[in-house]
Amino acid sequence: MTTPVTATELVSVVPRNDGQSVEGPIIPKHFSAGFVVLSYFISYLGSLTTLELLMRRTSMRGLYNWFLLIGASISLGGIAIWSMHYIGNYAIVLEPRDGQKNRPIVYSPVFTALSFFLPIVVVFLAFCAVGYDNNSVSGCIVLVALSLFTKGRRAGAAKKAQQVVLAAAIFDKGRRILSVNEEFGPSHPNLHWIYRASCNWAGVADLIPKMRIHLRRAGLMIVKVDYSFIFRELFCVAAADLAADLKQPVQSLGMLYDEMIISGLKDSENWRVKRTSTDSDDIERQGFNPTNVGKGKLLFLVKSVDRHEAEHLEAVGFRFGIVPRVVPIIATSLRMGHHDLSSRLKMMCNYSNKHKILEPGVYIALFTTRASMASGFEVLVRKDAKNQLPTVQLPYDSLASWQLDYLRQMENFKVSACIKFLHKATMPSNPSEREQNFARTLELTLEGLMDQISDGFFNDAALIADPIEAPCRDSRESSPPSTAQLITFRILVSIHTRAPGQSWVFIPLNFFKTQQRVYRNSPDHAIFAAKTHREFAPILDLAGREGRPIKGKNIDEAIEEFFELESLSKSARMPNPFEEEPEPKTFVDELFRICVRTKEGATFDLL
């Protein structure tokens, strides 16, 4: 019979360096729970510190970022890894025989030091490799992108091989070719429509589901449909998709930013474009706008949210970030310059805070128009509020009848003549004290507007004596806009005239007119919604009906009948409801008619 072997009777054979071996009993051991828990805790602290240091890095350059990288390497390699193992080894407790005291474990100082520095160096190199050596990842992405691009090009070439495109090249006797300017910009009617829609989402929200059906039914036959119609549908559907991503109703989306952002340009290209558009004095540059050369155009819906809406967005998974930190990421994805994007975002923030509108009262205004090389006319406006003319407010709530009569004495006076007339009226020789005070106020206010414009053409502006009523803020938030009185100077400047200073800019006159219809609680919102429904409803109703299965017909017959019905509906409805039924005139229409009045008294409505 064999006797069980106890722990003290176990032996081990340990080889020596000289080829011999040492035989002896195995020493019992146990683990200290406190040191084991401590080693886990030290590893957790080291890893957490590493993540915090890495998150504080802003780029792969700079002494500050290198210190953070070295600190993260020491934290992970020296604390989270080495200290965890070192303290873990202290958890081993040897129990010698014969009641002797616990024997310590002796470690080699050289290997102990090496084990400390080795993980730090390896982790540091790993962090550097992750930050810099992206050749393999980039190469993989490039290969995948090239394969997809090649596949798409082949598919497109195969499709084009089955298509015949008819184009027209028309030349005159001077060997010039006929061209058309369909550039999508601030003067385009479709932009005016989507701008008004973004300010009145409630008026188009119920049409969006039917727009989806219509776009789905159109499919590849989209070329047979009025593209203006399709473009507006695409915008509304895209806005609805964006609202769904934000977990918000489409009515909660913001309004369209009044500038388009050009993407797809590198920093050097952005600088070259800005220099070309800023330094060139040749007015014919407008025939080819260098600022519109890029890979695409971005339309932004901007909005400022309160605390409740911000918490809702954060609850559904979004986060608010500091603009300087997110600009590099966004600029890289859009291929835009960091500075350009940062300034644009700052302007968008100011634009979204409050839609600019005049306060109630009386103003002296300047209405400056010039012809555009593209088409139509342009008007001079404030750069920070493109829906406002250059104005200076007078200390009056309204003008009395005697003040109106006094202004009529200066009808069609130029600015220089008005100042002389007003200065003379302020003299003690004037028997009327109230006229002296009124003239002095007008003179000081007019000089203030001159200082703002600081351009010689302002002296040639002529006075419109009868005040023009323009929208202004009402005292009640729920009420439509009230009206302010504008004592306006008007001038039609040369096509070569440029905006004075950095505070003013020329914008298309028809877009400025559109901006006057989108104020909060404006009655034009209801008119726009009614006309939109009248224009879209017939085709959208047909799209919904034709979207259902049709018995006894194949898909080609169904599509052919669909477009035939759509064509009949399109011919039955008004070609352009905004032209057939003009909306109420704005103060811009009145000012423009006066500005282009001829010597014989005839007027032209060029809007």
Residue 275 lies in a domain: no
Q: Is 252 exposed, middle or buried (0-12, 13-18, 19+ CB in 10 A)?
A: middle
Query: What pLDDT, on the 0 to 100 scale, is given for residue 603?
Result: 36
pTM above the 0.75 mark? no
Note the pLDDT tens digit of each residue in 309-363. Answer: 888 877 776 778 888 888 888 888 777 778 888 888 888 888 877 668 888 999 9
Q: Is 50 exposed, middle or buried (0-12, 13-18, 19+ CB in 10 A)?
A: buried
45: domain range? 7-132
* Euclidean distance between CA atoms 501 and 505, whole angstroms: 9
Which two three-digit tokens encode residue 286? Answer: 């407008």
Residue 507 lies in a domain: yes
Residue 464 lies in a domain: yes
How far is C-alpha 313 from the geometric centre of its chain's CA atoms? 18
Residue 445 lies in a domain: yes
Residue 195 lies in a domain: no
* Euclidean distance between CA atoms 607 and 604, whole angstroms: 9
Q: Where are the beta strands (DSSP E) in 216-361?
A: 255-256, 261-263, 296-298, 301-302
Element (H, E) at 156: helix 135-161
In this structure, the strands spanning 21-25 and 11-15 are: antiparallel
Q: Please name the residue that has the structure tokens 């006229």.
A: 435
Residue 374 lies in a domain: yes
Q: Please name the residue that has the structure tokens 């990421």.
A: 329
Which two three-digit tokens encode residue 520? Answer: 């909060």
Query: What pLDDT, on the 0 to 100 scale, is given for residue 562?
Result: 52
Note the pLDDT tens digit of each residue in 480-495. Answer: 788 899 999 999 888 8
From 79, 114, 132, give the residue that closes a domain: 132
From 132, 148, 179, give the residue that closes a domain: 132
Instruction: For residue 103, name the pLDDT band (cuts at 50, 70, 90).
Output: low
- Let me know how many helices (H) and strands (E) the chain has, helices first: 20, 14
Q: Where are the beta strands (DSSP E) in 258-300?
A: 261-263, 296-298
Note the pLDDT tens digit of each residue in 430-446. Answer: 878 888 999 999 999 99
From 500, 515, 530, give the residue that closes a domain: 515
| CB neighbour list of residue 464: distance below 8 Å, 6 or more residues apart | 411, 487, 488, 489, 490, 591, 594
Residue 139 lies in a domain: no
Note the pLDDT tens digit of each residue in 475-529. Answer: 777 777 888 999 999 998 888 888 888 889 999 998 999 888 888 888 888 888 8
Count up the domains in the chain and report the number: 2
Note the pLDDT tens digit of each residue in 545-583. Answer: 544 544 444 444 444 555 555 555 555 444 444 444 567
Residue 23 lies in a domain: yes
